[in-house]
Amino acid sequence: MRLEPTPIPGVHVVELEPIADERGAFARTFCWDTFAQAGITFDAVQCNTSLNTKKHTLRGMHYQQAPHGEPKLVRVTQGRVFDVAVDLRPDSPTHRQWFGLELSADNHQSLYIPDGCAHGFITLEDDCEVFYMMGAPYVADAARGVRYDDPAFGIDWPAAPAVIGDRDAHYPDYTP
């Protein structure tokens, strides 16, 4: 596997390097040392999966408030999603900027989202499964979010959400 930087410091696309043979292929999906060589200490402590029944289901944009910031490595194990990270670090040169890409079971790509960034996605077909490796434990009281359509970020979603939770639809406008 290899990490490809994005315009947002710390946000990386993880590309697999499958080893093919007559049975198919084998690929490493996470390697602590490879992340460390990229300057990232990612000590995964929890794994999660989200099951999304309908096309154009939107989840996000979520993060955990300091000191419970949660870096995460996200991959799609079934279907296709448009996955987005938003930089919420006031001292970052890309504060308020977003980065998005299609993650799918077919392209095998992952997105690494560092602490200080919010994460969300919209599904691009029915029955999408999204797998997370989390770099910090879940702390319900620290759960925070920003709105997917907040003009502060101008995220260019490929579609409007057909399914979205009430909490996600009504986060207040972003204030750093």
Ligand X SMILES: Cc1cn([C@H]2C[C@H](O)[C@@H](COP(=O)(O)OP(=O)(O)O[C@H]3O[C@H](C)C(=O)[C@H](O)[C@H]3O)O2)c(=O)[nH]c1=O
Residues that bind ligand X (CB under 6 A): 48, 50, 59-60, 62, 72, 119-121, 132, 138, 165
CB of 89 to ligand X, least distance (A): 16
Q: Is residue 148 annotated as a catalytic residue, yes or no?
A: no
Q: Dihedral of the CA atoms 106, 46, 57, 175 (nearest 10)?
A: -120
Nearer residue to ligand X within complex by CB, 93 or 137: 137
CB of 15 to ligand X, least distance (A): 21
Helix, strand and coil in the chain, % to nearest 5 = 5, 40, 50
Catalytic residue among 63, 112, 132, 148: 132
Q: Is residue 56 annotated as a catalytic residue, yes or no?
A: no
Query: CA angle 163-45-137, nearest 5°?
Result: 60
Catalytic residue among 62, 63, 112, 119: 62
Dist. CA 28–CA 168, nearest whole Å: 33
CB of 24 to ligand X, least distance (A): 30
Residues catalogued as catalytic:
62, 132
